[in-house]
Structure formats: structure tokens, C-alpha cells
Amino acid sequence: MLAMPSFGGLIRCLARSGCLTGLILIGVGSPASTAGGADLLYWADSSATPGLQRAALESPAPQELVGELVQPRGVALDLAAGKVYWADASPSRNRIERADLDGSDVEDFVTGLDNPRSLALDPGAGKLYWTEVGAGVIRRADLDGTHVEDLVTGLGSPFGLALDLGAGKLYWTDSGTSKIQRADLDGTNVEDLITSGLTQPRFLAVDAAGGKLYWTHFMPSKLQRADLDGTGVEDLVPLVGLPFGVVLDLARGKVYWADGASFIRRANLDGSGVEDFLSGLDGPTGLALLDAPPVPALPLPGLLVLAAGIAAVAARPLSRRPNSASVRWAGPRSRRPRAGAHRGSCR
């Protein structure tokens, strides 16, 4: 293992080498606070006036972002690009659309689909995945809408979809065959996980770190979970009405789901502590959480940025000795480095 120099040693080494051309101190003060977790819940509303809405987790009040949709279903968020995606499953539309996170700049992403339902994003690879109930297929495309490809075909009614990017797996529910299955992200190595005891499983979500898969179930309506290999199936919460979207807020240890025609509810990950998040809605379906990334605490009172003269260093032979007049020691006299001390090393 290579020994890393101390910060002071690094500064002295850069100074001796002649590479230190500037030092900028940014953000002097106390360390930044660490705040994390999801801040906003987005959902598709398939009411008499279908649209896309959102609400803050701490003080929920519905805000309409996009109106004049027809049958909005699954929702996915790309925080880095500032985009929200949704599927519109109506026969007159059959497309995936997207907009900015505030609902502006609405545009078609992919058209000509057959009853698209659930969406899942892989921002790192630049891919959007989705299920199509009518075509019995799982597809993906680049984030500019090009290179649409079929991943898994010949399914019954693929409904919910979730990704475990760390393990390279995609999970889905098939309401037509009442199964939960998974495959590699390219659609190969399809596996049956749960093939009995289900009747029309709907949306699902993955807790990769906790090793759990959550889904909403129809007939009877309930929220369930299992281990990622399909074992250890548990009933968590009995639901009412038509269960649809489910999403996890792992930072706060909560699971949210669309329950019936008028509620979004939440509970602890083990199903305890059930409470209404929003009521009086009219047909919530797909859900998505906007995760606010944590601000890391700085190890120093501020952030030190070294502005090294890259071009000068590249042009300077490594064997050249620094001009002693170009570097002036600013520390205590007792700590002033002796001429030639530790030359060629950083300690």
C-alpha cells in the first residue's frame, strides 16, 4: 500500500518541485452539514383531469406540473439531468414523454408503443427501461430516445419494473402469468423468482442494500415483500381499492404506495406505522421520489483547491531544480525546510 503524504507534506512537496503556482481557499468556516433523503414525491394522476403532480414529503400539498394527459402510469426521475419521465398508456397516445422537473418543456421521448406501464432509469449508462403490457415486452432506449431495443419478449402482461444496478439485474412483475421474474440488464438469463401465490402483481421496487423486493398485489390487494431471490415472501400491509405504484425512501426507512382511487400512503419498511401521506386524490398510479443528494461534511474548515500550472509542469523537465526565488516559505521559522531536505519525496 502506498503511503499518502500529509496535507502539509503535500504543500511542501509541491512548493519544492516548483509545481505550486496558486492556492485558493474556498468556503472557509464550519464544515457543511449533512442532509440527505428524498424531498419530493412525484405521481401520475389518472383522474378525470389526468396529469403529473408532486408534493413535498415534509409538508405535502399537491402541485400540478403537467396537465392534459390521458392515461399516465409509470414515472421515473433523472435528478442529474433535471428530467421527469412518464408513460401515457392511452390508445390515442401510447408513448413516453418527459419534461423538466418543474413540468416545463414537455416533449415526446418515444412514441408508437403498446400500453407502456412502468419506467426505470439507469442514468450512468444513459438508458431508460420500460414495460409494455400490450406487446408483452420489456424495452430500453438511450436517453435521447434512440436505439430502442427489445430485451425480454413473449411475456404475458409485464407491469412493474425495477433495476438493481449494482448487481446488474432488472426485476419485473407479470400480471398476465402472475409471476415475478428477473434478468440481466441486457435481458439475458431470465429467472422465475415467484411463480405461486400471486394474482396480478403490480408495481415493484428494489431495496438492493437491504436485499428486499417490494410490490403491490391485486386480488387480494396488499403490499408484499420478499428476498431478492424470491424467498421469504411476507404480507406487509392489507390495502383497499386498486393498488398501483410503490416507491422506497431508504434514507428515512419508508415505503410509499398508491392505495385505491384516492390515497397515497406510507409505512416503515417492515409495514408498521401505516399513515396517510395524501388523501382526497383522484386516481394516483405511478410514484417516484426525488432524492436530494447529501452534502458531504468537509474534513477541513474549508475546501482547499490547488491550482497547479499544468501547462508549465508538462513543459518542465522533472530533473530541473526549482528556482529558489520563486518559492517563499510562509510557515513558522522553526519548521522551515532545509535546503535539499527530502528532495524527491513527499512525506
| pLDDT higher than threshold 60 for residue 294 | no
Residue 191 · residue 159 · CB < 8 Å: no
Cell, residue 138: 420489456
Q: Is residue 213 one of the residues assigned to a domain? A: yes
| pLDDT higher than threshold 70 for residue 344 | no
Residue 239 or 162, more confident = 162
Residue 66 or 283, more confident = 66
Q: Is residue 347 one of the residues assigned to a domain? A: no
Say which range, 28-32, 208-212, 261-265, 277-281, has the weakest mean pLDDT. Answer: 28-32
The number of domains in the chain is: 1
Q: Is residue 302 one of the residues assigned to a domain? A: no
Helix (H) / strand (E) containing 122:
strand 116-122
Q: Is residue 16 one of the residues assigned to a domain? A: no
pLDDT confidence tier of residue 310, bands split at 50, 70 and 90: very low
Q: Is residue 130 one of the residues assigned to a domain? A: yes
Residue 307 or 293, more confident = 293
Residues whose CB is less than 8 angstroms from the CB of residue 84 and which lie 6 or more positions away in sequence, other chains included: 42, 52, 65, 75, 76, 77, 78, 98, 99, 100, 101, 103, 288
CA distance 295 to 27: 14
Q: Is residue 10 one of the residues assigned to a domain? A: no
Q: Report pLDDT for 48.
A: 76
Q: Report pLDDT for 292.
A: 55
Q: What is the CATH number of the domain that holds 114?
A: 2.120.10.30
pLDDT digits (tens, 9 = 90+) for 136-189: 999 999 999 999 999 999 999 999 999 999 999 999 999 999 999 999 999 999
CA distance 158 to 296: 39
CA distance 104 to 164: 30
Q: Report pLDDT for 293.
A: 52
Q: Is residue 322 one of the residues assigned to a domain? A: no
Q: What is the mean pLDDT of residues 230-253?
A: 93
pLDDT confidence tier of residue 19, bands split at 50, 70 and 90: very low
For the chain, what percent of residues have pLDDT higher than 70? 72
Give the sheet arrangement for strand 95-100, strand by strand.
72-78, 83-88, 95-100, 107-110
Q: Is residue 110 one of the residues assigned to a domain? A: yes
The residue segments making up the domain with residue 61 are 38-291
pLDDT digits (tens, 9 = 90+) for 189-236: 999 999 999 999 999 999 999 999 999 999 899 999 999 999 999 999
